[in-house]
Amino acid sequence: MKNTFGSSVSVTIFGESHGTMIGAVLDGIAPGIAVDEEFIAAQMSLRRAAGSISTARHEADNVRIVSGVFNGKTTGTPITFIIENQDTRSRDYGELAYKARPGHADFTASVKYHGYQDFRGGGHFSGRITAGLVAAGAVAISALKEKNIRIGTHILSCAGVRDRGFSGNPAADIDKLADSAFAVLDDSVRDEMISRIEKAKSNGDSVGGRLETAVTGLPAGVGEPWFDTLESVLSHIIFSIPAVKGVEFGDGFALADMTGSQANDPFCSQDGNIATETNHCGGILGGISNGMPIIIRTAIKPTPSIYKEQNTVNLNTSENTTLVINGRHDPAIIHRARVVLDSAVALCLCDQLALRFGTDWLTK
């Protein structure tokens, strides 16, 4: 399978940056879930994140649901979301048909697809394709919320500025993040992050960052020892989001420098439930959820589209050359990517929950 993720609940995405339409098919989601078109539009808007630090391309991103919803609720059969591309300026990309942009998929796509790929605006590799994922993810997020499973992602760091991490009670943090166009937990860092993005933009450059995601309310017992550990399936979908180059759970790479006595989370009895005193493991033990919050951190590389001159190769002649990219680009995508993270995590968890508890578990 290629553009389809998931087993019991699956999502299929399609489209190109400058094609007619992009979209997604969400299949296997339980019947009877209320589909809130306003929430979908709000999520699309968070992903779009128009403004000085985003691309000048303006897409309305009106999502049409053309199947799978009846009387405002999911039917249990495939839900199809389509979004028309409107503001495409393909003439911007002429030279890019043969000059591979560093950091982009132009070269690897040309090898894989023998030059037949739609290269305009990155084609099927474009971050624009995440719009379909966000539309499908909005339904998954709503369905999980009804089961009191909440997901939230914030910008843990951007251009070297660091937000605080999730508190010991991430549910309150998640509430705070919900509608934020530039989601940080510590409001005092926002302006500095934005100012550094603007500075990079004015330099013709771009920045990256780190996202931190928390999931609360996930029941214990979800995931597999092999090979579909919860870390495995979550990282699988997260690493397919463009620009993601690192994923860690709980204390992640920092665990490498700890001792066992520091890293182990002691169990404790709490209101009749079994919990852990700390959460270094990020809510996953042996590949299976332990009922504590799931904590994920994701590295986002800086946007590869920059305005500086770069060395590259002419794919037609294999000769060295230079390239200056024009067109409209994002100096940062981290503020836009966080809703993509939420969506990807929600879709993955809906699949895991359906596999574990059956296809009706999310039905109201």
**188 or 256: CB nearest its own copies:** 256
Scanning residues 225 to 244, which ones bind its own copies (CB under 8 A)?
Answer: 225-229, 231-233, 235-237, 239-240, 242, 244
Residue 55 binds its own copies (CB under 8 A): no
- Look up residue 41 and give its DSSP letter: H
Residue 7 binds its own copies (CB under 8 A): yes
Which range, of 49-57, 113-121, 144-152, 179-187, touches its own copies by CB under 8 A? 113-121
Residue 245 binds its own copies (CB under 8 A): yes
Q: CB–CB of 10/351 below 8 Å?
A: yes
User: Beta-carbon neighbour count of residue 74 at 10 Å?
Assistant: 23
Residue 108 binds its own copies (CB under 8 A): yes
Cα separation values, 91 from 56, 116, 290, 328, Å: 15, 18, 52, 12
Residue 220 binds its own copies (CB under 8 A): yes
Applying CB under 8 A, the site for its own copies has a residue count of 153
Q: At its nearest, how many Å lie between its own copies and the CB of residue 149? A: 16
User: Beta-carbon neighbour count of residue 53 at 10 Å?
Assistant: 23
Scanning residues 306 to 345, which ones bind its own copies (CB under 8 A)?
Answer: 306, 308, 310-313, 315, 318-320
Alpha carbon of residue 66 to chain centroid:
24
Angle between helix 334-357 and helix 37-48 axes, rounded to 10 deg: 140
Torsion angles phi and psi, residue 175, rounded to 5: -55, -45
**164 or 356: CB nearest its own copies:** 356
Q: At its nearest, how many Å lie between its own copies and the CB of residue 35? A: 11
Residue 169 binds its own copies (CB under 8 A): no
Torsion angles phi and psi, residue 70, rounded to 5: -140, 125
Q: Kindly tell me which residue out of 265, 293, 337, 350 binds its own copies, with binding defined by CB under 8 A.
A: 265
Residue 300 binds its own copies (CB under 8 A): yes
Q: CB–CB of 200/209 below 8 Å?
A: no
CA 271/CA 274 separation, integer angstroms: 8
Q: Is 125 helix (H, G, I), strand (E, B) or coil?
A: helix
Residue 91 binds its own copies (CB under 8 A): no
Scanning residues 189 to 218, which ones bind its own copies (CB under 8 A)?
Answer: 200, 203, 205-210
Q: At its nearest, how many Å lie between its own copies and the CB of residue 176? A: 22
CA 9/CA 1 separation, integer angstroms: 14
Q: Strands 310-314 and 319-323, how do they pair?
A: antiparallel
CA 345/CA 244 separation, integer angstroms: 14
Cα separation values, 142 from 77, 127, 148, 190, 331, Å: 17, 23, 10, 27, 31
Residue 113 binds its own copies (CB under 8 A): yes
Which range, of 50-58, 169-177, 180-188, 256-264, touches its own copies by CB under 8 A? 256-264
Q: Kindly tell me which residue out of 88, 153, 157, 279 binds its own copies, with binding defined by CB under 8 A.
A: 157
Scanning residues 13 to 42, which ones bind its own copies (CB under 8 A)?
Answer: 13-16, 19-23, 25, 27-28, 31-32
Q: Kindly tell me which residue out of 96, 129, 140, 337 binds its own copies, with binding defined by CB under 8 A.
A: 129
